[in-house]
Amino acid sequence: MHVYDTLSEALTGLRQRGYTYDFNLKHNQLECPAVQKLFAPDSFEVEEVHRFEGNTDPEDESVLYAIRTPDGLHGTLVGAFGTYADEMSAEMSAKLHFRRNV
CA torsion angle for 46, 52, 58, 59 (degrees, to 10)? -70
Distance CA 78, CA 66 (A): 9
Boundaries of every domain in the chain: 7-95
Q: pLDDT tens, position by position, for the chain (102 residues)?
A: 688 988 999 999 999 999 999 999 887 899 999 999 999 999 999 999 998 876 655 555 788 999 999 999 999 999 865 444 556 677 887 787 744 443
pTM tops 0.85, yes or no:
no
